[in-house]
Amino acid sequence: MSDDQRFFDFLKQRIGLDVASVGLAIIERAVRQRCLALNMHDNDHYWQRLISSPDEQQALIESVIVPETWFFRYPESFATLGRLARQRLAETGLHRTLRILSLPCSTGEEPYSIAMALFDAGLAGHQFRVEALDVSPLSVERAQSALYGKNSFRGQEIDFRERYFTPLNDGYQLAERVCEQVNFNVGNLLDPMLLSHHVPYDFVFCRNLLIYFDLNTQHQALDVLKRLTREDGVLFIGPAEGSLLNRLGMRSISAPQSFAFCHSQEPLPVARPLPAASTPPPKPLPRPVPPTTVRPFAPRAPAPVPVPPPAQPGTGAASALLAHIAALANEGKSTDARQACEQFLQQHGPHAQAFYWLGLLSDVEGQAAQAQSFYRKALYLEPQHSEALAHLAALLASQGDVAGAQRLQERAARHERSSHSERKQ
């Protein structure tokens, strides 16, 4: 066993992190940073500190969690949530408060987006309540402050900032009426007793987390999520996790680009017209942003790529068109993005990034076989294409091909380790 294996095992046990999914170098770097912070010269001394100090255990966990998130990420999910909430209230005459859970909630952008989306959908404050959990106390503390910088507001549609935020120094303070709707706590999804004394939730958000677990941990986490979701409730996940939920007994509600699943064998009728509301209907929200990179524990994609002008002949045309494809995909314009990919392939020939985008677009649309083919084409042209490796591994794992997924994860980990060694030289 390598000197670092004990740290890998610790993180696997505590937060479920499969080291192969993020690369050995990320964990090794975190351990090295903690050693430097504590003025320790070797891993053995640090290990003794780690196993004897709950505070240091949390510090190491914090060092591998990247709280990269923003408001209304995957915006169609929030639009769907608003429609479902209004529909449930209108059809059932529900007299109890709708209950929504967000985990991991990171620094609060997701649960606060849930609250704003429900306000925009016409719900009153007494009609819903949001619970938010994260394994990181530091992230929870930041969320409770409700003060955000410009990086939390991305994309073109940020008019909600004018309605719900007040400029403060170099940031924006969230309105008190939104903060009052959300209750934050520290919690771990891998705790089988998590919220065991709470009644199940109407809606649960747990997005882009399962793909960082191995298959056994995915089963364990999904058992908890299914328990926390009402029989008539809806679970919102990340784009790459749909195949896994299908295989483990949940079903898509057939709301495009929402990545929403239910317990029942029949999809919920989300497309039916809603009864007239006493308040104006919610303003249409932009389309979702597919993930483009893999990050530790709470995978959050980088900022959307700005839309460049159409590619012109000459130097830089290929790069400009690839950026345009990324922008279209980030805006949820799947058909346009596919057409741009085909245009790129016709003009510039086979290219790994173009095949990767076609794979991701197919993956999001649930076309697993087509997605797998495109990912493999990308890897044929660029064997260490990190995004294609990660998404193909997640797809294979969701289909039960654990060995195939592990080979890809190990391949990505070897590349990460090699790249890290080269950077040190």
Number of Cβ within 10 Å of residue 406's Cβ equals: 18
The rounded distance, in Å, linking the Cα atoms of 396 and 408 is 9
**CATH for 317-424 (1.25.40.10, 3.30.110.30, 3.30.365.10, 3.40.50.720):** 1.25.40.10
Work out the burial of residue 135: count CB atoms within 10 Å of its CB; fewer than 13 is exposed, 13-18 middle, 19 or more buried.
Answer: buried
Question: What does the pLDDT read at residue 309?
Answer: 40
- pLDDT bucket at 304, cuts 50 / 70 / 90: very low
Contact in structure between 77 and 236 (CB atoms under 8 Å):
yes
**CATH for 75-262 (3.50.50.60, 3.40.50.150, 3.40.50.1100, 1.10.8.350):** 3.40.50.150
Of residues 414 and 249, more confidently modeled: 249
Query: For strand 201-205 and strand 98-102, is the pairing parallel, antiparallel, or unpaired?
Result: parallel
**CATH 1.25.40.10 domain span(s) along the chain:** 317-424
Secondary structure of residue 102 in the 3-state scheme: strand
Best CA proximity match to 100, nearest among 227, 201, 228: 201
The rounded distance, in Å, linking the Cα atoms of 413 and 419 is 10
Query: For strand 229-236 and strand 260-262, is the pairing parallel, antiparallel, or unpaired?
Result: antiparallel
pLDDT at position 269 over 50: no
Contact in structure between 276 and 42 (CB atoms under 8 Å):
no
Question: What does the pLDDT read at residue 306?
Answer: 38
Of residues 230 and 4, more confidently modeled: 230
Q: What number of H helices and E strands is found in the chain?
A: 18, 10
- pLDDT bucket at 416, cuts 50 / 70 / 90: low
- What's the distance, Cα to Cα, between the start and end of the chain in Å? 26
Question: What does the pLDDT read at residue 22?
Answer: 65
The top-scoring range by mean pLDDT among 20-24, 202-206, 311-315, 376-380 is 202-206
Of residues 215 and 44, more confidently modeled: 44
The rounded distance, in Å, linking the Cα atoms of 360 and 240 is 8
- pLDDT bucket at 62, cuts 50 / 70 / 90: confident
pLDDT at position 370 over 80: yes
Best CA proximity match to 224, nearest among 212, 208, 235, 240: 235
Tell me: the pLDDT tens digits for 237-266?
A: 987 777 777 777 788 888 877 889 998 655
Question: What does the pLDDT read at residue 152?
Answer: 92
216-243: string of b/e by CB count within 10 Å (b at 16+)?
A: ebbeebbebbbebbbeebbbbbbbbbbb
As a whole number, the mean pLDDT across the chain is 80
Which of 156-160, 167-171, 176-180, 238-242 shows the lowest per-residue confidence on average (mean pLDDT)?
238-242
For residue 75, whether the previous peptide bond is cis, meaning omega lies within 30 degrees of 0, is: no
Question: What does the pLDDT read at residue 273?
Answer: 40
**CATH 3.40.50.150 domain span(s) along the chain:** 75-262
pLDDT at position 103 over 80: yes
Question: What does the pLDDT read at residue 168?
Answer: 92
- pLDDT bucket at 303, cuts 50 / 70 / 90: very low
Beta-carbon contacts of residue 413 (< 8 Å; ≥ 6 apart): 19, 20, 23, 24
Question: What does the pLDDT read at residue 129?
Answer: 96
Q: What percent of the chain has pLDDT over 70?
A: 80
- pLDDT bucket at 108, cuts 50 / 70 / 90: very high
Of residues 408 and 343, more confidently modeled: 343
- pLDDT bucket at 67, cuts 50 / 70 / 90: low
Which of 27-41, 98-112, 329-343 shows the lowest per-residue confidence on average (mean pLDDT)?
329-343
Q: What percent of the chain has pLDDT over 90?
A: 32
Across the range 128-146, mean pLDDT stands at: 94
| DSSP per-residue string spanning 170-192 | TEEEEPHHHHTTEEEEE--TT-T
Question: Would you report the helix, strand and coil content of the chain in percent, each value rounded to 5?
Answer: 50, 10, 35
pLDDT at position 116 over 90: yes
Question: What does the pLDDT read at residue 288?
Answer: 39
DSSP 8-state secondary structure symbol assigned to residue 146? T
pLDDT at position 174 over 90: yes
The rounded distance, in Å, linking the Cα atoms of 82 and 115 is 10
- pLDDT bucket at 164, cuts 50 / 70 / 90: very high
